[in-house]
Amino acid sequence: MDEHRIRELIDEVRTGRLSRRRFVHAMVGLGLTAPMAAGLLSAAGVAQGQPKTSSAASTRRGGGGQVKMLYWAAPTLLNPHLAVAPKDFESSQLFYEPLADIDTDGTIVPVLAATTPSVANGGVAPDGTWVQWRLKRGVTWHDGRPFTADDVIFTWQYAADPATAATSAGSYQGIDRIERVDDYTVKLVFKRPTPYWADAFCSAAGMVLPRHVFEPFKSGKSREAPANLRPLGTGPYRFVDFKPGDVLHAEINPAYHVANRPFFDTVEMKGGGDPVSSARAVLQTGQYDYAWGLNMEDDILRRLEDGARGRVVIGRTANIEYIQINQTDPWTEVDGERASLKTVHPFLTDPVIRSALALLVDRASIQSEIWGRQADTTANFMNRRPFVSSNTRWEFNVDKANALLDSGGWKRGPDGIRAKDGKRLRVLFQSVNQPIRQKVQSIVKQALGRAGIECELKSVVGSVYFSSDPGNLDTESHFYADLELSSKILRQPDPQAFMRAFCSWEAAQKVNKWAGANLTRWRNDEYDRLWRAAETEMDPAKRAALFIRMNDLVIQNVVVIPVFIRHAVFAVANSVRGFDFSPFSGPLWRLVYWTREA
């Protein structure tokens, strides 16, 4: 973080847009002590407990003109419960809101809720069996209809219905019922003790839908709702027009429930291009105010930072970039689908081959030569403390991989490619067509070749790869390849939903419109038992141990190959103030507090 950004953060504390606690936390993350961070504030004249002041830009709603955003992987859908990629979640945040968001520290921040439930205020059962939410009064949908408890109950019914095939379904499956206490109070009663009661209705998976709009499109009709492309929510902006894969326009909600917010009158979210051109449009040319997903080679990013019109923000996360290994056969069709659970992969179910593949990923070179400060190497799938395993190690060793394959009977042919029992070691390795990921693919392909594994690379345009379209065979969730480079975002401080990615019942398949979280289609009874046990374990230490064991099972069985922890990278115009990234709620969770200074 440069001096300009630190001064900007101090200014945000001075004007009340950032708390002292959040500032100190950010500085400690840079290596300063808490007293040193407090000293920075004192030296800048920001006294402890001083009254908050507001800039002229924050004392009234509107007047800020247009804020222009670039998403190189363009949004294709505006229903957060059907979205499979960040670009669709984040575009939905313009229009929809959860009961609460989750800030950088993992603190629950009310949005449509009046307060945060707790054991102390009587909102959470000490035994984890229920939570009661009090809703904010006076909130209306964009068509003027009132937001009430009925909308919360409907959203649960909509998301939890298997026929809806909602990507958020897992967050709602533990709810037995929701009791309507009154128009502005709901009580969620869980099927069993639930340690992390905030999974439902918080952050991305918690967006509340209007019952009167979506009720005709419940269950199997979920993909037919016009509102999937023409949203109607409670959020700070109202829908204007949308061309999927291209551009989205929104205008200010004059009846928004937060006083004097938002500042910007209109939003343009433009899709297409690539990370480099997106960064340039903010940092150097100033054509746009914000650009998303700017993971690129770090030396390129540093050169772009020389521009005077914007700044780079790197948000630290526990998000993982990894290689998925298909457990099913992507080349054989059964009952109208490939990679069916009724098949097994011709050779990737061989532990010898999976172990060899894990030895052929040069994480150190990928991190140092490509990602730099944007990533950290890891051997684990789960990388948020206190759930990080100390039992795993990663190693890049081509000689050891060759020895393993030799011992497993995979012999080199005249062309150097290994085979056994008539099966040739040839894999299709796919990813999104982002240059930096294609370079990662190439590094892996080179190592595979040194071990006698033929590797064909495939890249898919981002708007297709991350699409939720069940009819598109090239999506990440169909996984019609042998290997694929994927990423997964930890959207909650708690790992229960994140680790659902390996539960047997979550296998992505035709019956759930490929919306299941388990793309590898790996099935393991012990893993399933551990995940179910963690759902109800109220002892924090015992629960952490369960997740560590789950991680170890995934790594030891080489279900996936973790490559690195990928931090989030954005470009923000120097004139824009109030940008605040949360690893759980995303970069737009505080959009209503963005302002512009001359």
The first and second tokens of residue 65, run together, are 């003109």
Note the pLDDT of residue 50.
Answer: 38
Q: How many residues does the chain have?
A: 598
For the range 105-113, what are the long-range contacts, defined as Cβ-Cβ under 8 Å and sequence gap of 24 or more?
A: 105/22, 105/25, 106/493, 106/584, 108/198, 108/202, 110/136, 112/136, 112/139, 112/147, 112/208, 112/234
Query: Are 134 and 115 spatial neighbours (Cβ–Cβ below 8 Å)?
Result: yes
Which pTM does this prediction carry? 0.74
Q: What is the pLDDT of residues 331-375, one digit of tens each?
A: 999 999 999 999 999 999 999 999 999 999 999 999 998 999 899
Distance, CA of 163 to CA of 340 (rounded, Å): 19
Question: What residues form DSSP beta bridges with 100?
Answer: 110, 202
Domains of the chain by residue range: 96-228, 320-566
The radius of gyration computed from the CA coordinates of the chain, to the nearest angstrom, equals 24
Task: Compute the average pLDDT of residues 439-446.
Answer: 96
Distance, CA of 62 to CA of 307 (rounded, Å): 29
Q: What is the pLDDT of residues 160-198, one digit of tens each?
A: 999 999 989 989 989 999 999 999 999 999 999 999 999
End-to-end CA distance of the chain: 22
Burial class (CB in 10 A: 0-12, 13-18, 19+), 33: exposed
Note the pLDDT of residue 52.
Answer: 39
Percentage of the chain lying above the pLDDT 70 cut:
91
Q: Print burial letters for 45-68: b (CB count within 10 Å at least 16), e (below 16).
A: ebeeeeeeeeeebbeebbebeebb
Q: Which CATH class is domain 96-228?
A: alpha beta
Does residue 400 carry a pLDDT above 80? yes
**320-566 has which CATH code?**
3.10.105.10
For residue 586, the SS3 value is strand
Preceding omega of 51 cis (within 30 degrees of 0): no
Positive or negative, the Cα torsion across 547, 368, 86, 469?
A: negative
Question: What residues form DSSP beta bridges with 239?
Answer: 250
Q: What is the pLDDT of residues 97-150, one digit of tens each?
A: 999 999 888 889 999 999 999 999 999 999 999 999 999 999 999 999 999 999
DSSP string across 185-251: EEEEEESS--S-TTSTTBGGGGBPPPHHHHGGG-GGGGGG-GGGTS---SSSEEEEEEETTTEEEEE
Note the pLDDT of residue 463.
Answer: 80
DSSP code at position 331: T
Q: What is the pLDDT of residues 237-283, one digit of tens each?
A: 999 999 999 999 999 999 999 999 999 999 999 998 888 999 999 99
Phi and psi at 47, nearest 5°, equal -80, 150
Note the pLDDT of residue 526.
Answer: 98
